[in-house]
Amino acid sequence: MSSRNPIIAVTGSSGAGTSTTTDAFEHIFRTLGITSVNVEGDSFHRFSRQEMDLEKRKAREDGTNISYFGDKANDFDALERLFKGYSETGKGRMRRYLHTFDEAVPYNQMPGTFTPWEELGEGTDILFYEGLHGGVVTEKNDVAQYVDLLIGMVPIVNLEWIQKIIRDTNQRGHSREAVTHSIVRSMDDYINFITPQFSRTHVNFQRVPTVDTSNPFSAKAIPSLDESFVVIRFRESENIDFPFYLSMIDGAFMSRVNTLVVPGGKMGLAMELILTPLIKELMVKKQQANQQLDWMSDL
Ligand SMILES: Nc1ncnc2c1ncn2[C@@H]1O[C@H](COP(=O)(O)OP(=O)(O)O)[C@@H](O)[C@H]1O
Ligand SMILES: O=C(COP(=O)(O)O)[C@H](O)[C@H](O)COP(=O)(O)O
């Protein structure tokens, strides 16, 4: 963790809504006049889509498994190096994994490929990560240690699978069967790499539908915000102003001493009310750290 070069990470499974959440964070950054550098977790995949198809075929032949959720298909060393380097210097290297034609055409590349690595960070206030592994810890890596604010996007799994199936079929050109197989193939890595992160997060946002999602593999549409509630869990609740949130968010209630529940339609408001003061606090600490450094360099 670094006061001078803070890192915010939004972590969640594939289809959880981490990319969508970026809009909410960018709105807060604009409001606070913060310059962020945005890093997509998929850029730390080890393989292009074509190479990954080959790796999946090899895994099937030798009776093993590989998924986008685990360390076989993701370079956690590179991710930890980025977080460590940015926290120390405010600089690093990033690239993008291009999922769709819309994303790929501006780079004159095909979907499923990586853009070249590029330098990042010069003149930025915050590194903002969204992806699968913002809080990952393994025997070899500890990415979470460098994150100043770790947020979990964790819809209940039936809803998460519906969101992934609808998106991957409509926007990424995958068949419903291929996405379903991807979900099944990912289960071991989901348990070993993805879900442990949500016990480390400062805040989890868990969208829970109020409509039937019993068979996610037959769903034709994603339940809307108004067809859901959002369960918001705070890791440390001592300094959280719950009375303020309850007064500001119509329909909000407490389900536990550290858990606020809001109507799905109030998710955006709740995120802004909750995250803005946390991000402001990071910026105050950043300013204090830089003032202290300036003072010491004048000695
Ligand atoms: N709060 C939400 N309400 C409705 N749909 C959502 C919500 N969050 C995400 N989605 C939809 O779910 C799909 C996956 O979201 P996305 O942000 O791409 O997930 P991720 O980046 O975590 O894989 C997208 O089609 C997106 O529009
Ligand atoms: O599992 C994920 C994580 O990304 P996200 O969190 O955006 O779902 C994607 O499916 C892979 O990046 C491969 O992408 P593709 O299947 O398009 O090759």
Least confident of 167-171, 207-211, 236-240, 270-274: 236-240
pLDDT of residue 122: 85
**pLDDT tens digit string along 18-71?**
988 999 999 999 999 999 999 999 999 999 999 999 999 999 999 999 999 999
Q: Which residues contact 125 (CB under 8 A, 6 or more apart)?
A: 6, 34, 35, 36, 283, 286
Question: What's the gap in Å between 18 CA and the centre of ligand 1?
Answer: 7
Q: What is the mean pLDDT of residues 84-91?
A: 95
Give ipTM to 2 decimals.
0.92
How many CB atoms lie under 10 A from the CB of residue 256? 11
Which is the closest atom of ligand 1 to the Cα of 166? 25
pLDDT classification of 98: cutoffs 50, 70, 90: very high
Q: Is 240 a residue whose pLDDT tops 80?
A: yes
Question: What's the gap in Å between 18 CA and the centre of ligand 2?
Answer: 12
**Hey, whose CA ends up nearest to atom 21 of ligand 1?**
19
Residues contacting ligand 1 via CB (< 6 Å): 12, 14-20, 163, 166-167, 207, 222, 225
> For the whole prediction, is pTM greater than 0.90?
yes
Q: What's the Cα-to-Cα distance from 161 to each of 115, 220, 233, rounded to whole Å?
A: 28, 12, 21
Q: What is the mean pLDDT of residues 283-294?
A: 88
**Hey, whose CA ends up nearest to atom 17 of ligand 2?**
99
pLDDT of residue 142: 98
Q: Which residues contact 194 (CB under 8 A, 6 or more apart)?
A: 13, 69, 132, 133
**pLDDT tens digit string along 243-266?**
999 999 999 999 999 999 999 999
For 37, phi then psi, to 5°, come to -110, 125
| Coil, helix or strand at residue 141 | coil
**pLDDT tens digit string along 104-152?**
999 999 999 999 999 997 899 999 999 999 999 999 999 999 999 999 9
pLDDT of residue 298: 74
State whether the beta carbon of 189 lies less than 6 angstroms from ligand 2: no
Q: Is 296 a residue whose pLDDT tops 90?
A: no
Q: Which ligand is nearest to the CA of 67?
A: 2
pLDDT classification of 290: cutoffs 50, 70, 90: confident
State whether the beta carbon of 99 lies less than 6 angstroms from ligand 2: yes
pLDDT classification of 173: cutoffs 50, 70, 90: confident
pLDDT classification of 299: cutoffs 50, 70, 90: confident
Q: Is 72 exposed, middle or buried (0-12, 13-18, 19+ CB in 10 A)?
A: middle
Q: What's the Cα-to-Cα distance from 218 to each of 46, 106, 159, 174, 297, rounded to whole Å?
A: 31, 34, 12, 15, 63
CA 164 to chain centre: 14
**pLDDT tens digit string along 177-229?**
999 999 999 999 999 999 999 999 999 999 999 999 999 999 999 999 999 99
Q: How far is it, in rounded angstroms, from Cα 19 to Cα 164?
A: 12
